[in-house]
Structure 1
Amino acid sequence: MRSSRSTALAMAGVLSLGLLAACSTDDDPSGDSTADGDKITITVAGLQPGAEQTAVDALDERVEQFEAKYPDIDIETQEYNWLASTFAADLAGGTLPDVFEVPATDTKVLIQNGQIADIDEQVKQLSYADDFNPEVLAAGLSDDGLVYAVPAKSIYAVALHYNRKLFTDAGLDPDKPPTTWDEVRAAAKTIKDATGVPGYAMMALDNAGGWQLTAAAYSRGGRTQVLDGDTYEATLTDPAVKESLQFLGDLKADGSLLENTQLGWGDVNSGFAAGQFAMYTSGSDIYTALVQNNGVTADNLDYGLTALPNDGDDSGTLGGGTYAAVAPQATAEEKDAAVKWIDFWYLSKLVDQDQAVADAKILAEQDPPQAVGTPTLPIFSKEQYETSLGWIQDYVNVPLDHMAGYTDVMFEQPVIPEAARATQETYGLLFPIVQAVMTDPGVDLDALLAEANTQSQALIDQAG
């Protein structure tokens, strides 16, 4: 979940379900998409509110290139940040762009509720339609295998982000980041004792807290939901969930935890960029957001990225990402235009050398430069990922040598998808428990998790 997300990956709120959708068509002159003779205008998700001007400039330049390639299509960009709690109302009110982004956790629900358009015909016409990583594409497919959303960006695994300067200041080797949770705890305490800066921070606001608690449980071999035959069962009482919560209590007892229970996705990024703490977990692609939204450069943050510790049997890393979708009442012409934009903005740079270089060149030549080369999991194949990275090697400006702890294992570390039923709602049940243990390490976790498990099962049963 990223919320979003993100992404991520935006991360707040519980999805309000509704069967309403409002995308303009030729029959609805009040909408955002209009046809003018043979010319069509569509609105598309742009950057998050508050993005750096250089990121906006880079997007504007790509829009100009798109409109030169497709003179019959006008693109209007719109600031956009996914919020599950407001999506249905925004869709009903016609305030969403025609092409918008959703986290992987919500694609299936939106498909089932008729809240995104069937774009199967348009996607199947793309030259690389058969080359998608099937495990990644699966989240955007309906039960009968039609394409409703495509993986677009920030396909990530949760990883550990760390401030290399604080490691150095505390006498730790930044080139040897922690590989176990015990080592994370020890490093956090060493950093706090030596520098006075908290060694670790945890997202705990709204669903972001449940998202990251789930990632921590996965990394210890636990699950928050399992499929038993044809039935999904809530497993919030899994020992790994409790162990992950106790870890936060231990950090608090050590005095090394940032004592802020109100950090969401954007908040924790801002705090990290400002050097307010040394380590946190989030999607492996966060460096791009740090540059885009927080003004991070190689000069003002000595950034490090390493794999999330995997301890115990069945351990793995929670994966997710952002998918591009089209508003449900789009006409065939609007869907054609929308998929052309999705191809151009999100995907062609991964499979076409000229597009890859054009995109990287624009980003790298901004002042200050935008991130080029941030590690992500492959939307297509590992081989294609490595090929496309080679195309843009002259423009890569992210500190890949400081990300080796992640990139060395990113294709071998097991990636586990988010729970299939009542995902966001279950995150909503978990984050208050995260906040509780961060406030009082002696809280009765067994009782809290048992009650949350009962509620989660009811939500799973309701979801069907």
Structure 2
Amino acid sequence: MKSTRRAIALTLVGALTATALAACSSSGSGDGDGESADGKTTLKVVSLLPGSEPEAIDAFNEQVKQFEDANPDIDVVPEEYEWKATTFAAQLAGGTLPDVFEIPFTDAKTLVENKQIADLDTQFRTLPYADKFNPAIIEAGTGPDGHVYAIPAKNVYGVGLHYNRALFESAGLDPDSPPTTWDQVREYAKKIADANPGVAGYAQMTQNNTGGWQLTVNTYSRGGRVQEVGDDGKATESLDNDGTKEALEFLQALRWEDNSMGSNFLLDWGTMNEAFAAGQVGMYTSGSDVYTSMVQSNGLDPATYGLTALPLDGDDAGVLTGGTLAAMPAKATDDKKAAAVKWIDFFYLNKLVDQDAAVKDAQTLVASDQPVGTPVLPMFSKEQYLENQEWIKDYINVPLNQMTGYTDTMFDLPLVGEPSQKTQEVYALMDPVVQAVLTDQNADIDKLLADANKQAQALLDQG
């Protein structure tokens, strides 16, 4: 789940386990706690999702080599990593995370308040583009003292509707004319399910907090909000709003009236991507950036992929937006911090603002048949983003002509950030609500939402 603490709607468009992957590093491994045997700073970093394709690993290995060649005093040790709300806290407390790990925008404020991540402000300020970030994005990783604790890293996205072009064709639908309303999504989902027994015409994430995340997406798209924050900073839950009710009634109809949602109702971000890439899902909602992950980790056939804008219904309808921050454990040493910011600059950010770095990164990825050009939202500004795309235009290999329903509108999306307080805890309360609607034909939506809202408000009242 990847999102901002505040409503980024304001200006975004103006913006293998350690063992299995140890061989990714071109240098000998050290003790992992500070210096390696040859005196280098050892830096464990997030690499790829578990089970990534060999070509993706090859591309990452090459990037590690390039970094170590340029920074011979740093020994990079890559580790597989997938952020999950249900396991992250235990990993952080247990000290099993890499030195540089990734978190969603929603989590940084709480981690700062709990003194669980390192203050990276001094090192961050050495970056030549430190003052050029979209203010709403850099704010997500900034503490109450004004210091930067988590650095925007990648994947600033708006949620879109992902669809399988081959399944569209099998159902007699035009893959170049994806649905633009929720009524059309329902219609298309039934046609896909009827034409492909066992396939979900439309699927919904439901567990590991992704059920709450995507129910919030569905709520925003219908003009509702799940949390309101007053001028005094006090938050009030509103899970029982009309938008959320309509979203659940929509799922209820697809499941019990149309039988168009398949049979697996325990999906999260990773398993949804896997099912979609395998041709078992016709449509689902998620961040605009997941194409890259599905190619790297799920063997997605690009020819089958389509992306379009999220249907919007209502005067205050919006598109949930979010992103990823890079952070470090609170006890990180200054040497580790300095090494980490060099890696964050090299791997995540410099390629966005420097032409030579952008071209080198694109060349490295293309050499291993990895995606270049997946649509995301600007980290800095629209102008900077478009300039970057011009630098790498000769290397873009994603099927942008199959994503125009999204890319034609991406700079005009009415963006809304995720709920700002107790985000993951509230999402966890919403998961069983979605599951109940999809597994119990007689589920009482009003009661489910009233109960969840009461529990969520109690969480907020705890402070």
Partner Cα distance (1:171, 1:187) in 2: 10
- The alignment status of 1:244 with 2:247, answered yes or no, reads yes
> CA 1:438/1:355 → structure 2, altered by over 3 Å: closer, same or farther?
same
Gapped regions of structure 1 (runs ≥ 5): 4-28
Instruction: Name the SS of the counterpart of 2:152 in structure 1.
Output: strand
> CA 1:445/1:411 → structure 2, altered by over 3 Å: closer, same or farther?
same
Q: 2:14: which partner in 1?
A: none
Q: 1:275: which partner in 2?
A: 279
Partner Cα distance (1:36, 1:382) in 2: 45
Partner Cα distance (1:141, 1:431) in 2: 29
Deviation at 1:397, TM superposition (A): 0.8
- TM alignment of 1:376-415, pairs within 5 A: 376-415=376-415
Deviation at 1:81, TM superposition (A): 1.5
Q: What is the count of residue pairs matched by the alignment?
A: 434
Contact kept in structure 2, 1:198 and 1:278, CA below 8 Å: yes
Q: 1:124: which partner in 2?
A: 125
Partner Cα distance (1:306, 1:217) in 2: 18
Instruction: Name the SS of the counterpart of 2:159 in structure 1.
Output: strand
Q: 1:370: which partner in 2?
A: 370
Deviation at 1:37, TM superposition (A): 7.4
Instruction: Name the SS of the counterpart of 1:129 in structure 2.
Output: coil
Contact kept in structure 1, 2:32 and 2:43, CA below 8 Å: no
- The alignment status of 1:334 with 2:329, answered yes or no, reads no
Partner Cα distance (2:263, 2:332) in 1: 47
Partner Cα distance (2:43, 2:193) in 1: 51
- TM alignment of 1:314-333, pairs within 5 A: 314-333=316-335
TM-score (norm 1): 0.91
Q: 1:305: which partner in 2?
A: 307
Instruction: Name the SS of the counterpart of 2:411 in structure 1.
Output: coil
Instruction: Name the SS of the counterpart of 2:412 in structure 1.
Output: coil
Gapped regions of structure 2 (runs ≥ 5): 4-29
Q: Any idea what the Cα deviations from partners look like across 1:72-109, whole Å, max 9, x if unmatched?
A: 11111111122333333323332211111111111111
Partner Cα distance (1:259, 1:171) in 2: 23
- TM alignment of 1:284-295, pairs within 5 A: 284-295=288-299
Q: 2:54: which partner in 1?
A: 53
Q: 2:181: which partner in 1?
A: 180
Deviation at 1:2, TM superposition (A): 4.2
Q: Any idea what the Cα deviations from partners look like across 1:135-189, whole Å, max 9, x if unmatched?
A: 1111111122211111111111111000112112222211111111111111111
Partner Cα distance (1:233, 1:195) in 2: 43
Partner Cα distance (1:104, 1:379) in 2: 13
- Percent identity between the aligned chains? 57
Deviation at 1:352, TM superposition (A): 0.9
Letter of the 2:399 counterpart: P
Contact kept in structure 2, 1:42 and 1:74, CA below 8 Å: yes
Letter of the 1:143 counterpart: P
Instruction: Name the SS of the counterpart of 2:306 in structure 1.
Output: strand
Q: Any idea what the Cα deviations from partners look like across 1:250-273, whole Å, max 9, x if unmatched?
A: 101112112311111111111111
Q: 315-324 or 197-206: which moved more?
A: 197-206
Q: 194-203 or 227-236: which moved more?
A: 194-203
Q: Any idea what the Cα deviations from partners look like across 1:189-237, whole Å, max 9, x if unmatched?
A: 1222334333111111231111101100000011110012321000001
Contact kept in structure 2, 1:32 and 1:43, CA below 8 Å: no
Partner Cα distance (1:136, 1:387) in 2: 19
Contact kept in structure 2, 1:204 and 1:262, CA below 8 Å: yes
Q: 2:167: which partner in 1?
A: 166
> CA 1:61/1:30 → structure 2, altered by over 3 Å: closer, same or farther?
closer
- The alignment status of 1:154 with 2:158, answered yes or no, reads no
Deviation at 1:440, TM superposition (A): 2.6
Partner Cα distance (1:158, 1:258) in 2: 22
Instruction: Name the SS of the counterpart of 2:140 in structure 1.
Output: helix
Contact kept in structure 2, 1:250 and 1:441, CA below 8 Å: no
Q: 2:137: which partner in 1?
A: 136
